[in-house]
Amino acid sequence: MTVKVRFAPSPTGKLHVGNIRTALVNWLFAKSQGGMFVLRIDDTDLERSTKEYEEAIRADLSWLGMTWGETFKQSERFARYTEAAGQLKSKGLLYPCYETAEELERRKKIALSRGKPPVYDRAALALTADDHKKLEAERRKPHWRFKLSGGRAEWNDLVRGQQSIDTASVSDPVLIREDGSFLYTMPSVVDDVDAKITHVIRGEDHVTNSGAQIEIFLALGAQPPEMAHMPLLIGADGQGLSKRLGSLSAEQLRNEGYEPMSILSLLAKIGTSDPVEARESLQQLAMEFSFSKMGRAPARFDENELDGLNAQIVHGMSFEAVKPRLAKLPYGDQATPDFWDVVRSNLKGVPDAAVWLAVVYGGGLTGPDLDADDQAFIGEAAKLFPAGDVTADTWKSWVNAVKAKTGRKGKGLFMPLRRVLTDQEHGPEMDKMLLLIGGEKARARLVGAAP
Ligand code: GLU
């Protein structure tokens, strides 16, 4: 059996860390098994799905390196769903219901007030042929429910172990709305059957769905795939991420300078028995992937951890790798390998290099606000600054001379010099920075800040 999995996002929003993790686990599992990763666009909801979101999802997955072997859209397959619905109808497993939303809500409340589970009472199954005729004559449009067996749907979940859903405790799911549109439940099954999906891997919010879907697989004469339901993500504060997912989109993370491999390393490891560590490639993550390492507790997505991984990955990046990215920043086309070696360990993300590009290759800096004392001090320092080109020793010998002349030491000595030369209070070692900035620019900055 060749493993075939699918990632099935709905193009009703941006890809966020929650669905990136689902995509990733599918991708890693497929890779680790020599199988195929399929991208399915779940756009049955034509009103909320957009072409823009669909394209953004494809672009985001590509940016993350999660390539797909096949891709298709549900909106291209409505004829097939209609056919499958016909199959279920002919077996009496898909039945028309005419209750309005208000009516259902009212019945739900009554059930709850009687201490009963708010399960659909199947009143529609009791409708006679005459009732149907009357309703049709009134031009009432039905929605269609799948008739669950009332028995138990069972499977051995790759993450959760043996599962058993009592289908009598859930409502018969609506598969088709009044307007004839399909909800996600049945198309997903039809697609999984037709695409020969061997493993359905998704969040544990789908566990109940799986009970119904397993019965739909069987009703369509198909073998249900293996299933894996992963615990959901929570934030570092232990709270669910749902409200914050908007700011945790792939797009936002990319704009903030996060590298694909820091996002992927974190998402592959949280909630598993492996330590969270930066990895260089999806291949490496795939080699280390196993469902047996995945726990049942929610996976903690901690942005500080992401920052740490990102910094680690950026610090290890070669100039060749980063060159095209630097080139997109102001002055970035002038960056040299030496520049990168000096600044990289100070960056949280590649875009942070912009500051240092401006310091090294830019013209005048805004210049710090210095008090009168510091200004006078800079005046002295400027006078002592050697003529001509700077060398690797310039900083040290110059600072020693400034120290001897002014009597300043420690922070009082270094900080004003650093601030005038770089406009920053922190940064790479100054001897190396000075070498990059060059004598002429350094002199001009000192003179400019002097009284
Ligand atoms: N479109 C569904 C979702 O995003 C897919 C669920 C599934 O993987 O079956 O939740």
Each residue's pLDDT tens digit, 11-53 = 999 999 999 999 999 999 999 999 999 999 999 999 999 999 9
Same fold? 1-73+231-315, 372-449: no
* Right CATH for 80-176 from 3.10.180.10, 3.40.190.10, 3.30.70.120, 3.90.800.10: 3.90.800.10
Ligand 1 atom closest to the Cα of residue 6 is 8
Structural domain boundaries in the chain: 1-73+231-315, 80-176, 319-361, 372-449
Domain 1-73+231-315 adopts which CATH fold?
A: Rossmann fold (3.40.50)
| CA-wise closest residue to 289 among 414, 424, 199, 192 | 199
Distance 360 CA to ligand 1 centre (A): 49
The rounded distance, in Å, linking the Cα atoms of 311 and 194 is 44
Domain 372-449 adopts which CATH fold?
A: Arc Repressor Mutant, subunit A (1.10.10)
pLDDT tens, 397-438? 999 999 999 999 999 999 999 999 999 999 999 999 999 999
pLDDT tens, 224-279? 999 999 999 999 999 888 888 878 999 999 999 999 999 999 999 999 999 999 99
Distance 155 CA to ligand 1 centre (A): 19
The rounded distance, in Å, linking the Cα atoms of 212 and 207 is 9
**Residues composing the chain:** 451
Ligand 1 atom closest to the Cα of residue 205 is 10
Distance 181 CA to ligand 1 centre (A): 17
Helices and strands in the chain: count of H runs, count of E runs: 19, 12
Which residue is listed with tokens 């789908």? 206
- Nearest residue by C-alpha to atom 10 in ligand 1: 9
Q: Is the dihedral of CA 307, 313, 315, 319 positive or negative?
A: negative
Is residue 364 scored above 80 in pLDDT?
no
Strands 94-97 and 143-146, how do they pair? antiparallel
Q: Measure the CA angle with vertex 44, ends 38 and 45; round to 5°.
A: 130
Question: Which tokens belong to 204?
Answer: 């544990």
Ligand 1 atom closest to the Cα of residue 209 is 9
pTM, rounded to two decimals = 0.91
